[in-house]
């Protein structure tokens, strides 16, 4: 729900829109508070004790320690968070979905963060922009070429994150596919059925 209201005298009695949001989803980083005073603009959110997913993928020792069950849990959590954001009537398009936008708490549960470029749209109606924004290696090619962004653009970016999880390589790191050390690590992490 969006409400119309008037700000205080301190804010020059301006008319403003106040959007009342539903409770946050368990896989979205919750906003704890904010400060907009003087020259300070601060957003306060929950701290992720295990950092971002890219931090784990950058460090081969940390990446290797993630079990397949943990990887699946991380991916499912991010997918559930995106599904919540893309809910039909009030879709939020993240526009910068990447491994550094996925935080991990002390249980390695997923929290999506980084909503600085996000848009609130009516359903899945495309929004047209002159210059696509986001991180180069994760941007949907259709969005990059046409300037039209939809929830499918986030899904494409999330696909890149899934590939990173599977390959243990960040999209922007150059590495040879036939790297023998990577193949050895993969074989040793496989679990017999």
Active site amino acids: 96
Whose structure tokens read 């409400």? 3
Q: How many CA atoms lie within 13 A of 82 on its CB side?
A: 24
Nearest to 114 by CA among 67, 157, 162: 157
Nearest to 131 by CA among 115, 142, 143, 123: 143
Backbone angles phi, psi at 25, to 5 degrees: -80, 150
Q: In sequence order, what DSSP letters do the residues of 28-51 get, joined into one string?
A: BPPEEEEEEETTEEEEEE---TT-
What are the residues facing 91 on neighbouring strands?
A: 121
Which stretches of the chain are assigned E, i.e. beta strand?
Answer: 2-6, 15-19, 31-37, 40-45, 91-93, 102-104, 110-112, 119-121, 127-128, 148-149
| CB-neighbour burial class of residue 141 (10 A; exposed 0-12, middle 13-18, buried 19+) | exposed
Nearest to 54 by CA among 184, 189, 173: 173
């Amino acid at each position: 729900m969006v409400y119309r209201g008037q700000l205080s005298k301190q804010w020059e009695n301006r008319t403003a829109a106040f959007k009342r949001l539903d409770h946050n989803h368990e896989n979205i980083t919750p906003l704890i508070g904010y400060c907009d005073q003087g020259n300070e603009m601060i957003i306060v959110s929950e701290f992720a004790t295990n950092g971002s997913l890219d931090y784990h993928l950058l460090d081969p020792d940390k990446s290797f320690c993630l079990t397949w069950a943990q990887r699946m849990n991380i991916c499912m959590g991010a997918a559930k968070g995106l599904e919540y954001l893309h809910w039909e009537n009030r879709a939020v398009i993240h526009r910068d979905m990447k491994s550094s936008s996925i935080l991990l708490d002390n249980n390695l549960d997923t929290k999506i963060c980084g909503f600085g470029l996000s848009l609130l749209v009516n359903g899945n109606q495309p929004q047209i922009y002159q210059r696509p924004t986001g991180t180069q290696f994760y941007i949907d090619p259709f969005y990059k070429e046409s300037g039209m962004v939809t929830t499918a653009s986030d899904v494409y970016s999330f696909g890149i994150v899934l590939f990173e999880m599977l390959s243990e390589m960040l999209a922007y790191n150059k590495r040879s596919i036939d790297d023998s050390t990577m193949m050895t690590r993969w074989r040793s992490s496989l679990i017999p059925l």
